[in-house]
A and B are shown apart, each in its own frame.
Chain A
Amino acid sequence: MPIIATQNLTMRFGGFTALNDLSLAVEPGVVGLVGANGAGKSTLIKILLGLLPPTSGQAAVLDLDVAGQGPLIRERVGYMPEYDCLPPDVSATELVVHLARMCGLPPTAARERAADTLRHVGLYEERYRPIGGYSTGMRQRVKLAQALVHDPQLVFLDEPTNGLDPAGRDEMLALIRRVGTEFGISVLVTSHLLGELERICDHVVVIDGGRLLRSSAVDSFTEVSGVLVVEVEEERDALGQRLATAGLAVRPEGRHLLVDIADEGTYDLIRDGVAELGVGLIRLEQRRHHIEEVFR
């Protein structure tokens, strides 16, 4: 059963078309929604939450129709907005407890779930301090916690790595991966950076200008190409010369050589070349496509 399905979904704001005839089906797991800023990612999430009626077309979340069953959808999903949405004068605990109650959790359960969820996202003693004093990384964690506190079946995370430094980005991505695997909650995560979603998603949907560019499993984005990456300790150019003379298509790239695979013999030629030169072989592997290549 797909967790998200849309059929010819179109959204226009006046003369601007935010989504254009978008049809997709997404299976449970960690799903990336990639597109440049203004590609229609946030609009799609608001339609899927049942908050924004589409101009035309249908959409269903967890088999519930966005047009008629918005309230049921919103009971079962969590949402982390793109922008800062936290009041500075309350503590993370107070805010998350309150928002848990807004999902119908009784007072005691709301307190327990808030404490558990904040711990899972990595907020400990600081959760009793007012949010106004938090770093961007901590704020993003609070935003994630409020999306998870009622134990949804699916969370929409809109640009969760926005504004984070590289280390914070890695931590947030690892956390999102854990939500999808350990917590067993399906995730729809948006980003304008393809590379970061490649690392954590099972499936990636790429939209551009409101149109579907591609929707497929990450494996197929990064399937093996017919190119070998060869990295040696030294004498890179000498090895390259030698392989070229042997009739292989070789080109340098950074500290490596890229060698087109002609047949099984290609591996032997490289092995022999390295052995005869007497250099250390660091790496010999088939290159995988990068998700970015979709856009080239």
Chain B
Amino acid sequence: MTLGAIHDIGYRHYEGRRLGRAYIIRSLYVHNLRAAYGLGRPARAKVMPFLLAAMMLLPAAGSVAVLAITKEPNTLIVYSQYATIMQVVVAIFLATQAPVIASRELRFRVVPLYFSRPVVPPDFTLAKVGAFATALFVLLAVPVTVLFVGALVTRADKMKPLVMPDGEVARAMPLGDHVLHYLGALLGCVLFALVLAAIALVIAAFTPRRGFGVAAVIAVYMVSSTMVLIVQGIAEARTNFELAGWAGLFAPFNLVDAVQVRLLGAEKAAVAVPPGPWGGPVALALCALLVAGAVAVLSLRFRKAGLS
């Protein structure tokens, strides 16, 4: 008898368990989350996401280092402002990774293979939006956590007050405030992640050609933020601060910052946010509308692709 021979034992039917919808959605979610960081894909797919994640971490680590050396409490970057400060890196992550999630399976016509199985378009879409939002949340929340842990380790709350050149006194924030601000910033990160993921995925899903999606996401981000900055600049020059505030709703980062400032009590990172008691609720409603609209549009887009 030959050792190591392969014996064809013929076809066997599968008698085992078949799991339901929850398992399928969970598998899809994990699959897409891994894909967002290039896991389970060739090495070159991992370069961009990990490079950008490292770039996101650097300023946070630097800020903690400066805090530890100078012992000046105001050197630490404000938690809720981190996403806005780093928005260019975040936008590049959106542009390079949203096409991986939204347009790769459209481009290679893989979608019909899902919908001929017990997968329905809404589940498919929710798994993708959820996975990409989670990937973004990790990108944003990890450096904010580094700042917070840095503040705890260096006892930033016990640092001596600092008298600024203009006579203002920068006092150390009490520990309780650090915790509150950190948790508020995490909520802000969730909102940033959901809104930015929704917008980027829709753009990528309608530009399935390779490279084109990357350019489209960057273009929408750049054009919207630049236009808003111009309008805000003109409005402020004419002392029309109300218009400057409302204009902020039309740039994604500014929109979420408005919710952070008006509803979560954060310090303003954008140029201007909508004023008055309605500013916060309107911004939040707009965020919710964007995410819900994106899910609906993506679901229709994928359903159509499933029939091609």
A residues touching B (Cβ–Cβ < 8 Å)? 46, 49, 51-52, 71, 74-75, 77-79, 81, 83-90, 94, 98-99, 101-106, 109, 113, 116, 120, 130, 146, 150-151, 182-184
Contacts and interface: CB of A to CB of B under 8 A. Distances in A.
Contact of B18 (A77, A79, A105): A105
Given A74-B118, A102-B113, A105-B14, 8 more contacts: A46-B307, A74-B117, A75-B118, A94-B40, A98-B31, A101-B23, A103-B18, A150-B117
Contacts of B18: 75, 103-105, 150
B113 A81 contact: yes
Interface in B104-118: 104-105, 108-110, 112-118
Contacts of B112: 79, 81, 85
Contact of B41 (A86, A90, A101, A151): A90
Given A79-B112, A85-B110, A146-B113, A105 B306 contact: no
A49 B114 CA distance: 12
A216 B81 CA distance: 72
A86 B108 contact: yes
Contact of A104 (B24, B105, B114, B306): B24
A87 B105 contact: yes
Given A81-B113, A101-B27, A130-B42, A106 B19 contact: yes
Interface stretch (B5-13, B190-198, B247-255): B5-13
B17 A106 contact: yes
Contact of A49 (B16, B20, B116): B116
Interface of B: 10-14, 16-20, 23-24, 27-28, 31, 40-42, 45, 104-105, 108-110, 112-120, 306-307
Contacts of B28: 102
A51 B116 CA distance: 8
- A-B complex: 10 closest residue pairs judged by Cβ atoms: A79-B116, A151-B14, A104-B18, A183-B11, A104-B19, A101-B27, A87-B108, A85-B109, A102-B117, A109-B16
Nearest to B9: A116
28 contacts: A46-B307, A51-B307, A71-B118, A74-B115, A75-B117, A78-B116, A81-B109, A81-B116, A84-B108, A85-B110, A87-B104, A87-B110, A88-B108, A89-B42, A101-B24, A102-B113, A102-B117, A103-B24, A104-B17, A105-B14, A105-B16, A106-B16, A106-B23, A109-B16, A116-B12, A120-B11, A150-B14, A182-B10
Contacts of A52: 307
B118 A89 contact: no
Contact of A109 (B14, B45, B109, B115): B14
Contacts of B113: 79, 81, 85, 99, 102, 146
Contacts of A184: 11, 13
Given A75-B18, A182-B11, A183-B11, A102 B45 contact: no
B299 to A, nearest CB: 14
B36 to A, nearest CB: 15
B67 to A, nearest CB: 43
Nearest to A78: B116
Contacts of A98: 27, 31
Contacts of A104: 17-20, 23-24, 118
Nearest to A143: B113
A98 B35 CA distance: 13
Given A74-B117, A79-B112, A89 B20 contact: no
A51 B115 contact: yes
A113 B14 contact: yes
A83 B16 contact: no
Contacts of B115: 51, 74
A146 B11 CA distance: 15
A103 B13 CA distance: 15
Nearest to A84: B109
Contacts of A99: 113-114, 117
A215 to B, nearest CB: 24
B13 A74 contact: no
A109 B27 CA distance: 14
